């Protein structure tokens, strides 16, 4: 289901829904260029101060996850590596690398859409953001915001990728195998 702001009468520009829809917009950019569609925004005082989408293929960099790029950009906007008072919105649960980076950068909150029980590090598989014994920073976590949309864009991306692969196989014909 599309989140339609045009027909929405009372848009709460401070709400998790609003900022997650901004993160989804970033995920859409990733989708358009053939990247796994994950997007992130970082918000402080009700303002988006950083936005990024997954660019692993574009940059040929396995660390170029949306969260990593958004954190770097937010630190530039802050003029500091301490992102106190900030909230990170991301369409999919952060992986261990990103969760580790989040702990270092110390935003107050992390909000995500799709849970990742196989590799998520914000409660899905493990929880580095609220570990026990704790790391040097703990984040508040809100999960499942616009979950259907966040899962949906990933599912359609991978479905399309599978179909494309199957088509290529058909075009080459069985004699080549
Ligand atoms: Zn990551």
Query: pLDDT for 36-56, tens place per residue?
Result: 999 999 999 999 999 999 999
For the chain, 177 residues long, give each residue's pLDDT as a single digit of tens. Answer: 455 555 555 668 789 999 999 999 999 999 999 999 999 999 999 999 999 999 999 999 999 999 999 999 999 999 999 999 999 999 999 999 999 999 999 999 999 999 999 999 999 999 999 998 888 999 999 999 999 999 999 999 999 999 999 999 888 766 554
Q: What is the per-residue pLDDT for 173? A: 64
What six digits make up the tokens of 127?
């929880």
Is position 67 annotated as part of the catalytic site?
A: yes
Q: Is the peptide bond before 151 cis (omega within 30 degrees of 0)?
A: no
Q: What is the pLDDT of residue 1?
A: 46
Residues 64 and 35 sit within 8 Å (Cβ to Cβ):
no
Helices 147-172 and 16-32 sit at what angle, rounded to 10 degrees? 10
Distance 99 CA to ligand 1 centre (A): 7
Catalytic residue among 2, 8, 32, 67: 67
Ion ligand 1 nearby residues (CB, 5 A): 65, 95, 97-98
> Three-class SS of residue 17?
helix
Looking only at the bridges linking them, the beta strands covering 39-44 and 140-143 are unpaired
The predicted pLDDT at position 4 comes to: 54
Q: What is the pLDDT of residue 170?
A: 83
Identify the H or E element spanning 155: helix 147-172
Which pLDDT value is given to residue 139? Answer: 96
What is the 14 CA–ligand 1 centroid distance (Å)? 25
pLDDT at 3: 52
């Amino acid at each position: 289901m599309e989140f339609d702001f045009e027909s929405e009468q009372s848009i709460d520009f401070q709400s998790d829904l609003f900022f997650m829809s901004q993160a989804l917009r970033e995920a859409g950019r990733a989708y358009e260029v053939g990247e796994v569609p994950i997007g992130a925004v970082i918000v402080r005082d009700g303002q988006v101060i950083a936005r990024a989408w997954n660019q692993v293929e574009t940059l040929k960099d396995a660390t170029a996850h949306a969260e990593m790029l958004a954190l770097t950009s937010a630190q530039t906007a802050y003029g500091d590596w301490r992102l106190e008072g900030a909230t990170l919105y991301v369409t999919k649960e952060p992986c261990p690398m990103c969760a580790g980076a989040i702990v270092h950068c110390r935003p107050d909150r992390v909000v995500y859409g799709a849970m990742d029980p196989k590799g998520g590090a914000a409660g899905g598989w493990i929880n580095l953001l609220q570990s026990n014994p704790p790391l040097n920073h703990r984040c508040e976590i809100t999960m499942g915001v616009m979950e259907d949309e966040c899962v949906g864009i990933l599912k359609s991306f991978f479905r399309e990728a599978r179909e494309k692969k199957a088509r290529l196989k058909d075009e080459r014909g069985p004699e080549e195998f």
